[in-house]
Chains A and B, each alone.
Chain A
Amino acid sequence: MTAYPTSPQFKNNSRAALADGQLQKALGNVRTNFIAKRAGAAQRLPEFDALRDQARDLRDHVLAHLDVYLEVYERKVIESGGHVHWARDAQEASRIIVDLALARGARSVAKGKSMVSEEIGLNAALERAGIKAVETDLGEYIIQLRGEAPSHIIAPAVHLNQEDVEAEFRRVHTWLPQDRDLNQPESLLAEARAELRAKFLAADIGVTGANFLVAETGTSIIVTNEGNGDLSQILPKVHIVVASIEKIVPTLEDAVGLLRVLARSATGQDMSVYTTLSTGPRRVDDRDGPQEYHVVLVDNGRSSMLGSEFEEMLRCIRCGACMNHCPVYHAVGGHAYGWVYPGPMGAVLTPALIGIDKAGHLPNASTFCGRCESVCPVRIPLPKLMRHWREREFERHLSPAVSRAGLGLWAFFARRPALYRFATGLAMRALAWAARGRGRFSSLPLAGGWTDKRDMPAPQGDTFQAQWKAQQAKQRKRT
């Protein structure tokens, strides 16, 4: 596993990602498929935008009453025979799960896909306790074999191509015939299905995340397309749900309101294949299902985001639409972000969870094009929140000296309009003169960050303010 976080090295990570031909090929799939599929799903449902407004309002209501809903939810889980554990931080959450597993003599854990389990470093913690954790989502299984972290919150292996998967299966599944045909994606899927089926059946404990926790009934809900999270929880004797505290929804009706925007925003499906609602352990009348049901509620910094300028981030339902539509994610992929959550949602959430001192590059890696906000099913104003991080970074003197000096210089002129007009006018004319005949610069002093990767267009000879003035004068003459 890559040492987390590598967010402080975002710039180097990005440089490497841009030069990685295989990665760039794989990212081509993100740029085209996800966007078209979401657009199709939105278009098929006339109520889609009204549902997004409703989803936003619901999430805000929950966040404003989170303490009360958590208490109700806890009571309902206990009433249905389950157990609730609370974890202040990542370490505590992992320790609770490891202790549960050790106390039951567990040797292997089947895992449904869960981002919060990545956040708390659960696999490594289990490993240290001598317990094997098996990821069962196909994409998660592939990257676990490769010792990688997910590069996308719903498509963890989206940075890989088919030949990478084939190579990995040949390297790891050594007990299978060397000359088997793995040329088709179907044969890769069949091989993974057979290998994982045995692991599901052998697992002592199943760990899943939760898309939603329903306060009304004490129910956890997961959505999957493969059926892996579902098998992970009905075959082993113990089902442990690990979920962050903001996953609460009040009622089953509210859960449905979010389900209607989740899959459409994520994969462009109207509904994921499996939506599984689990409440407590198996009942007297049940022939299968777990004998024990545990929920680990993880805070890990979220309670401090409430009431702050970052509270809106806690609306997030983890669909991945923001990264699917992000030109920066398209260019560098998810690993460059250096921690669990990539893309625009990661650029806002990561600094809150691991610190702006480590993740300061992430909110800066944005063109503020606004596509993320325009597709967010719960209408999180992601560019605004990234701007808040930039302000914090500036206030805390974390931004580099050169940009601080530059901003200081700009502020000096901006407060003196006459001087500002004079100086910018001079600069424009100088630049236009320097670029005469070419219309652009391939390099500029102090602006290498811009001109290294593209040309700087030359100004047309005058400032905007001067051109505006001239334009207004011309119009006045005409009327």
Chain B
Amino acid sequence: MSARDDILANIRRSLGVSGTDAPRRASVEARLAAHKRGIAPQRGQGDLAGRLAMFIEQAQAVATSIARVSNIADAPAQIAAFLHEHDLPARVIMGEDARLRDLPWEEAGVAVSYGRSFGDDLNSVSFAEAGIAETGTLAFVSGAHNPTTLNFLPDNHIVILRAIDIEADYEAVWARLRDRFGAGLMPRTVNLVTGPSRSADIEQKLLLGAHGPRRLHVAIIEA
């Protein structure tokens, strides 16, 4: 017998069931089809303004820096100011995302390159799929528009997030993914990011910037 058959047979023997047990299969199929929501914390479940306020509170609590921008066209200027404030070169890398590419980077004095990172980029810019109010978390989906390396390799990860994309909880993000990719289908990588990279492996002292970004900066677009 193959290892697979051995293991499945041993599970069934231990559970005292057979592999063709229809009610058990039906119970599994039903649970998968329903993908029912469980208990979700009340704190994320506000209206748009409430979710925005909760997102900011939770994100700041995990050392994410936040700027509020009224219009998306103003985002490059805000990002230029962030780079200047931290003595960083006005140069960013981003994915092939029309929503980002069409912004006035040149006017803001920010040089832009496109593509994945190989570890030599100081600053990256991503357009977040969604924000999650419950824990101040950002959701990213892999693809040409946002290669996953941009979320991890640069020292400073800068994110544009529309306030209308701030959801109450993770479940709302799964609903978006099912709409876009189809039920049971996923993109290669989904990253949920809650603050900049950190480690507490040396005497449990919390230090930022372990392997991923040292800074995580979010420009929230309110309009």
Is the Cβ of A88 less than 8 Å from the Cβ of B3?
Answer: yes
Is the Cβ of A87 less than 8 Å from the Cβ of B199?
Answer: no
Is the Cβ of B201 less than 8 Å from the Cβ of A288?
Answer: no
Interface residues on A, range: 35 or more
> Any chain A CB within 8 A of the CB of B137?
yes
Name the residue of chain A whose CB is nearest to the CB of B28.
Answer: A68
Is the Cβ of A274 less than 8 Å from the Cβ of B212?
Answer: yes
Among A69, A70, A165, A282, max chain B CB count under 10 A is at: A282
Mark each residue of chain A from 46 to 75: 1 if its CB lies under 8 Å from any CB of chain B, else 0: 110011001000100100111111111000
Interface of B, secondary structure class, is loop
Residues of the B chain whose Cβ atoms lie less than 8 Å from the Cβ of A145: none
Residues of the B chain whose Cβ atoms lie less than 8 Å from the Cβ of A190: 209
Select the stretch in A97-105, A298-306, A331-339, A461-469 that faces chain B. Answer: A298-306
Contact of A254 among B25, B38, B115, B199 (CB under 8 A): B38
Name the residue of chain B whose CB is nearest to the CB of A305.
Answer: B14
> Any chain A CB within 8 A of the CB of B185?
yes
User: How many residues belonging to B are interface residues under a CB distance threshold of 8 Å?
Assistant: 81
Q: Please judge, given known A-B contacts A234-B149, A283-B143, A297-B7, whether A33 and B210 are in contact too, CB under 8 Å.
A: no
Closest approach, in angstroms, between the C-beta of B217 and any C-beta of chain A? 15
A109 and B36 CA atoms in complex are apart in Å by 39
Q: Please judge, given known A-B contacts A67-B19, A273-B62, A276-B191, whether A230 and B7 are in contact too, CB under 8 Å.
A: no
Interface residue ranges of B17-36 to A (CB < 8 Å): 17, 19, 24-25, 27-28, 31-32, 35-36
A196 and B201 CA atoms in complex are apart in Å by 15
Is the Cβ of B14 less than 8 Å from the Cβ of A186?
Answer: no
Task: Identify the B interface with A (CB < 8 A).
Answer: 2-4, 6-8, 10-12, 14-17, 19, 24-25, 27-28, 31-32, 35-43, 58, 62, 95, 115-116, 118-119, 134-135, 137, 142-144, 147-149, 151-153, 169-171, 174, 177, 184-205, 207, 209-213
Task: Identify the A interface with B (CB < 8 A).
Answer: 26, 29, 33-34, 45-47, 50-51, 54, 58, 61, 64-72, 76, 80, 86-88, 92, 136-139, 142, 155-158, 160-162, 165, 185-186, 188-190, 193, 196-197, 200-201, 215-219, 225-228, 230-231, 234-235, 245, 250-254, 256-257, 259-260, 267, 269-283, 285-289, 297, 299, 303-308
User: Can you list 20 pairs linking A and B with CB atoms under 8 Å apart?
Assistant: A61-B31, A68-B24, A88-B7, A160-B202, A197-B211, A217-B185, A227-B152, A231-B211, A234-B148, A251-B31, A251-B36, A270-B62, A271-B135, A271-B194, A274-B197, A275-B137, A277-B186, A277-B189, A288-B142, A307-B16
5 further interface pairs, Cβ-Cβ under 8 Å (given A34-B204, A66-B15, A162-B203):
A201-B118, A276-B191, A285-B143, A289-B142, A299-B10
